[in-house]
Amino acid sequence: MDTLGFLFQGFGQALTPQNLFFALIGSVLGTLVGVLPGIGPTSGIAILLPLTSFLPPTPAIIMLAAIYYGAMYGGSTTAILVNIPGEVSSVVTTLDGYQMARQGRAGPALAIAAISSFVAGTLGLVGLTFFAPPLADVALRIGPPEYFGLVVLAFSVVVSLSGASLVKGLSAAALGALLALVGLDPMSGVRRFTFGTSTLLSGIDFIAVIIGLFAITEVLVGVEASITAVSTAALGRLMPRWSELRRCGGTLLRATGVGFFLGLLPGCTPGAISFISYDLERRVSRTPERFGRGAIEGVAAPEGANNATTSGGFVPLFALGIPATPALAVLLSGLMIYGLQPGPLLFEKRPEFVWAVIASMYVGNVMLLVLNLPLVGLWARLVRVPYAVMAPLILLFSVLGAFSVRNSFGDVGMALAFGAVGYLMVKLGYPTAPLVLALILTPMLENALRQSLSMAAGSPLIFVTRPIAVVFIGAGLALTAWSLLGRPRRRTT
Amino acid sequence: MRVRPGPLCGAVLVALGAVSLVETLRIRDEWPGAKLMPAVLAVAFAVLAAGHLAPSTVASAADRPAWPDAPRWRRVALVFGVLVLYVAGLPFLGLLPATALFVLILLRALGAFSWAVTIGLSGAIAVGSHVVFKRWLSMPLP
């Protein structure tokens, strides 16, 4: 069967009442996660991941994926209305979006954000549909050394997630790697870092770690900052003028190209890419002086790019099993919980699952357009919910989410401990995302490394004699160098 | 509070490196085998700890820790303390009363709501979580 045949079959699955329902729930939750400052898609997926264990894999992953791309839609709402980005990827949207709101044009700014998100997100999905299967075919021919190279490439994300201090980012990643090794070694069966206790034999549950580091930490930081409710500006008329929509046509195509192709690369987070897209738009504009003063293209470019990036990020996730962002790393762990190993064989062994999820993303994008265009006033009102109500709710979901993984209060305790660790990390300027990424990637890295060395009787030369492995490792080093060179200009990512 | 995070965190990394080194020596497996990654981590922690001793690598102006003042510390400590007590009390009190109490205390501490609103919200959230998690999702909660 060809790609379109599989896609139509996927639509058959995605349009069943159950899958439609969970795509809608995910889209609503994703928009909510995006709208509310203080909770991001990574923590949103982490909290809800254990709760989806009651569902079959297809609706569960459809819902979690919808939370991820839905958050990209919702992140612009507070960025435009109150100059507070709901997500890192919406930071640059504040530059022109908030200026438009101050000029009484919040409605057109929100509308162009939703339209850009829909167009670029859908075009990105077309790319995902036609790029992922051939990539998976190629990936079927790679062995452990090449896979090791791929994971090295994925690890290059750590540099761009490190913030102002590379040493701190790498330290966080090293801690994540150490935590990943706790428990029984799956290859030899020996105990590692268990300190003689049996409770650590099954390892540290990464969902508890993620809930602690993201959800609980975010609440503690929010409580410290004394976040209260945020008021909103008037929306004005909703739709942009026809001339403005025409002007944004080229912007959207460029944003889609930048977002999708850079989104394929590990290390290119939606936050970084929205900056690149905004910068590109300002450079090609005949009137660059309008940017920063309420230019509608200044909203369309970053919002389009970050949605195309989310679609692009699913290509290496599904085809190679490599997450490009921390949120996708959590989604990857969700797939593993269901015994689904993302990678080239997923397209061969579980085509009905992969294509149902991809088709559901097309459907989800339409749902999100409806949720974010006519209902934008409703979301704008939601940001007025007092933080005093939001904080206990997030903590409650965190506790119950951590408990539900293995029905264990030990995991809840672990989540609390990592909540405190995460808060201290934030206060000391240590990024938490590299820790999570290393926690998830280290077992893959170790397996590929040890299998490769076994193949070559212990010789590391195997990594330089296999051309594809050399290309992946070289690309990882090049991306690391690129991220290092670009660091001073991209501190916010 | 004045804290010099560089050396302090460097000391933590030295300790983690030492733990990794001990594990590398303790594990009885063929080289590289199961001891490869702990060995790599021991070296990595040593290098990163050394990196923490160079102030420019960890203490740029934009990166300096911003410690909260005393009232904010108290708020954070209160919320975290209540959370710990909630988790500790959950097996004994049960989901419904423990959650109602937990939400009530946090609403009083963080918000400026009347008692009627506070009690109403606490009850609604507790009953809602009981219905969703215990009844619908059949989670084996106390």
Best of A54, A165, A459 to substitute, by most chain B Cβ atoms within 10 angstroms, is A165
Query: How is residue A357 written in tokens?
Result: 């999820």
Chain B contacts in chain A segment 101-160 (CB below 8 A): none
Query: A192 has which bridge partners?
Result: A183
- Residues 6 or more apart in contact with residue A222 via CB below 8 angstroms: A38, A387, A391
- The pLDDT of residue A78 is 72
End-to-end CA distance of chain B: 41
Of B57, B83, B99, the CB nearest to A416: B83
Residue A296 pLDDT > 80: yes
- The pLDDT of residue A360 is 95
Residues of A in contact with B90 (CB under 8 A): 399, 409
- Residues 6 or more apart in contact with residue B18 via CB below 8 angstroms: B42
CB A256 within 8 A of CB A121: no
Residue A274 pLDDT > 80: yes
pTM: 0.75
Nearest to A304 by CA among A33, A31, A122: A122
Please tell me the distance from the alpha carbon of residue B123 to that of residue B89, in angstroms, as a whole number.
17
Inform me whether the C-beta atom of residue A347 falls under 8 Å from chain B C-beta atoms.
Answer: no
Distance from CA of A423 to the nearest CA of B (A): 10
Q: What percent of chain A has a predicted confidence (pLDDT) above 70?
A: 91
Report which listed range, A281-285, A341-345, A394-398, B97-101, is most confident. B97-101
Please tell me the distance from the alpha carbon of residue A26 to that of residue A67, in angstroms, as a whole number.
5
Running DSSP on this structure, what letter comes out for residue B132?
A: I
Cβ distance of B48 and A171 shorter than 8 Å? yes
Of B63, B76, B125, the CB nearest to A393: B125
Which residue type does A104 have?
G
Cβ distance of A409 and B91 shorter than 8 Å? yes
Which residue type does B71 have?
P
| A207-257 pLDDT, tens digit each | 788 888 878 988 898 888 776 654 455 666 778 888 888 888 899 999 999
Q: How confident is the model at residue A116 (pLDDT cuts 50, 70, 90)?
A: very high
Q: How confident is the model at residue A286 (pLDDT cuts 50, 70, 90)?
A: confident
Q: How confident is the model at residue B4 (pLDDT cuts 50, 70, 90)?
A: low
- The pLDDT of residue A490 is 43
Best of A49, A171, A194, A487 to substitute, by most chain B Cβ atoms within 10 angstroms, is A171
The three-state secondary structure class of A43 is helix
Cβ distance of A165 and B67 shorter than 8 Å? no
Cβ distance of B60 and A190 shorter than 8 Å? no
Query: How is residue A452 written in tokens?
Result: 């490769």
Query: What is the chain B residue with the closest CA to A396?
Result: B99
Please tell me the distance from the alpha carbon of residue B60 to that of residue B63, in angstroms, as a whole number.
5
- The pLDDT of residue A141 is 72
Cα–Cα distance list, A366 to A179, A299, A373 (Å): 40, 20, 11
Residue A86 pLDDT > 70: no
Q: Tell me which of A21 and A98 has the higher pLDDT.
A: A21
| A249-262 pLDDT, tens digit each | 899 999 999 888 88
Nearest to A383 by CA among A24, A28, A25, A32: A32
State yes or no: cis peptide before B32, omega within 30 of 0: yes
- Residues 6 or more apart in contact with residue A449 via CB below 8 angstroms: A148, B32, B36
Please tell me the distance from the alpha carbon of residue A403 to that of residue A418, in angstroms, as a whole number.
14
Distance from CA of A164 to the nearest CA of B (A): 6
Please tell me the distance from the alpha carbon of residue A148 to that of residue A151, in angstroms, as a whole number.
5
Find the mean pLDDT for residues A289-301: 89
Cβ distance of B34 and A429 shorter than 8 Å? no
Query: What is the chain A residue with the closest CA to B140?
Result: A407
Inform me whether the C-beta atom of residue B106 falls under 8 Å from chain A C-beta atoms.
Answer: yes
Please tell me the distance from the alpha carbon of residue B9 to that of residue A99, in angstroms, as a whole number.
42
| A418-473 pLDDT, tens digit each | 999 999 998 888 888 889 888 888 888 898 899 899 888 888 898 989 888 898 89
Query: A183 has which bridge partners?
Result: A192
Cβ distance of B33 and A450 shorter than 8 Å? yes
Find the mean pLDDT for residues A136-155: 80
Please tell me the distance from the alpha carbon of residue A393 to that of residue A200, in angstroms, as a whole number.
30
Cβ distance of B52 and A404 shorter than 8 Å? no
Please tell me the distance from the alpha carbon of residue A427 to that of residue A150, in angstroms, as a whole number.
33
Backbone angles phi, psi at A237, to 5 degrees: -70, 150
Q: Pseudo-torsion of CA B34, A175, A274, A390, nearest 10°?
A: 120
Q: Tell me which of B1 and A137 has the higher pLDDT.
A: A137
Find the mean pLDDT for residues A48-61: 85
Chain B contacts in chain A segment 457-476 (CB below 8 A): 458
Q: How confident is the model at residue A367 (pLDDT cuts 50, 70, 90)?
A: very high
Q: How confident is the model at residue B56 (pLDDT cuts 50, 70, 90)?
A: low
Query: Which residue has 């397209």 as its token pair?
Result: A347
- The pLDDT of residue A362 is 95
Distance from CA of A470 to the nearest CA of B (A): 21
- The pLDDT of residue A266 is 63
Running DSSP on this structure, what letter comes out for residue A184?
A: E
Please tell me the distance from the alpha carbon of residue A13 to that of residue A15, in angstroms, as a whole number.
5
Residue A492 pLDDT > 50: no
Best of B2, B12, B19, B48 to substitute, by most chain A Cβ atoms within 10 angstroms, is B48
Find the mean pLDDT for residues B102-124: 91
- The pLDDT of residue A164 is 74
Residue by residue, what is the 3-state secondary structure of A200-250? CCCCCCHHHHHHHHHHHHHHHHHHHCCCCCCCCCCCCCCCCCHHHHHHHHH
Find the mean pLDDT for residues B32-43: 87
Inform me whether the C-beta atom of residue B79 falls under 8 Å from chain A C-beta atoms.
Answer: yes
Which residue type does B39 have?
A
Query: What is the chain B residue with the closest CA to A221?
Result: B76
Please state at what angle helix B115-129 crosses helix B95-110, rounded to 10 degrees.
140
Query: How is residue B1 written in tokens?
Result: 């509070």
Cβ distance of A193 and B19 shorter than 8 Å? yes
Q: How confident is the model at residue B5 (pLDDT cuts 50, 70, 90)?
A: low
- The pLDDT of residue A493 is 34
Is residue B70 classed exposed, middle or buried when 0-12, 13-18 and 19+ CB atoms within 10 A define those classes? Answer: exposed
- The pLDDT of residue A491 is 43
- The pLDDT of residue A417 is 95
Distance from CA of B5 to the nearest CA of A (A): 7
Pairs across A and B, CB distance < 8 A: 163
Please tell me the distance from the alpha carbon of residue A434 to that of residue A172, in angstroms, as a whole number.
6
Q: Lowest-pLDDT range, A15-29, A373-387, A410-424?
A: A373-387
Residue B64 pLDDT > 70: no
Handedness of CA A400, A404, A408, A411 (dihedral sign): negative
CB A164 within 8 A of CB B58: no
Find the mean pLDDT for residues A38-52: 77
Running DSSP on this structure, what letter comes out for residue A490?
A: -
Query: A191 has which bridge partners?
Result: A184
Query: How is residue A410 written in tokens?
Result: 């030990």
Running DSSP on this structure, what letter comes out for residue A54?
A: G
Distance from CA of A113 to the nearest CA of B (A): 31
Q: Pseudo-torsion of CA A188, A192, A198, A200, nearest 10°?
A: -120
Chain B contacts in chain A segment 163-182 (CB below 8 A): 163-168, 170-171, 174-175, 177-178, 181
Best of A178, A182, A423 to substitute, by most chain B Cβ atoms within 10 angstroms, is A178
CB A59 within 8 A of CB A22: yes
DSSP element (H, E) containing A183: strand A183-184
